[in-house]
Amino acid sequence: MRRLLWLLLAILTAVMFALALETDDGTIAGLSRVDLSSFLVKAVILIFIGALALAFFRERFSQALEAAAVWVVIAILLAVGYTYRFELRAVADRVMAELVPGRAATRGRIVEFARGSGGNFSVVAQINGARVPFVLDTGASSVVLTQEAAKAAGLPLEVLSYSVTIDTANGRARAAPVTLDRLSVGGIEERAVPALIAQPGQLRTNLLGMSFLNRLESWEVRGERLMLRGQP
């Protein structure tokens, strides 16, 4: 307790010295009186709690130090995690993009995808809020959907007119032109995107073609990664 009294006396002396350094704008060492008061109150409370803990654990001082060290480490980790939460989220997105085919890693206006084991880029997008898997196809002039994907997106299949001829892996097929209200890939969203819906049984995979890619500011394949940059 004698040490605690000396410590409190030292703090009061420091306060008096700080008051003597008060500048013309009312700040003390760069702090306003309110900020300084708040700091002093917290410091006194911490010293008081520390003194009580020291008195309580005076016979088990090493155990008290170990427990305090553990909580200090936990507090530091939490503080660092909160401070760098956005950077950590970006790292987690990139890791998940490597592990989950079609998963997007978003950094601002840039969306990245990792190349799949088959050599293609799988892209999970949303059409009118419905989750739809795609394969990137730069040879396709348009976004092309299967009947199943079109149904999931709520498109009017009963009024379609299959008036467009397309080339697929199974040969030539007929497709119906439509306009997608909303097509989102990661953090990139485009509206009124022209697309085609293939006839039933003519297409196995949805194709992310040029009618979407041409809307972007840029896109490129860099090594094993597909990078899409949305418009500002």
* pLDDT by 10-residue block (mean), the chain, 232 residues: 56 56 48 56 63 61 61 67 61 62 79 86 92 92 94 92 82 90 93 94 91 95 90 86
In the prediction, which pLDDT does 208 show? 95
Written as six digits, the tokens of 102 are 């079609």
Residue 203 sits at φ, ψ, to 5 deg, of: -145, 130
In the prediction, which pLDDT does 154 show? 94
**Does the pTM of the predicted model rise above 0.85?**
no
Residues 131 and 161 in one domain: yes
Alpha carbon distance 121, 113 (integer Å): 7
Q: Which domain does 162 fall in, by range?
A: 102-229
Helix (H, G, I), strand (E, B) or coil at 156: coil
Q: What does the buried/exposed string (b/e) look like for 4-18 if buried means 16 or more CB atoms within 10 Å of the residue's CB?
A: eeeeeeeeeeeeeee
Alpha carbon distance 211, 209 (integer Å): 6
Residues 138 and 216 in one domain: yes
In the prediction, which pLDDT does 103 show? 77
Within a domain: 88: no
Following DSSP, what letter does each residue of 158-223 receive, concatenated? GG----EEEEETTEEEEEEEEEEEEEEETTEEEEEEEEEEEPTTS-SSEEE-HHHHTTSSEEEEET
Residues 110 and 195 in one domain: yes
- 160 CB-contact burial (10 Å; exposed 0-12 / middle 13-18 / buried 19+): middle
Residues 49 and 117 in one domain: no
- 180 CB-contact burial (10 Å; exposed 0-12 / middle 13-18 / buried 19+): buried
Residues 60 and 8 in one domain: yes
Residues 120 and 169 in one domain: yes
Q: How many domains does the chain have?
A: 2
In the prediction, which pLDDT does 191 show? 95
Residues 58 and 128 in one domain: no
Residues 68 and 118 in one domain: no
In the prediction, which pLDDT does 220 show? 93
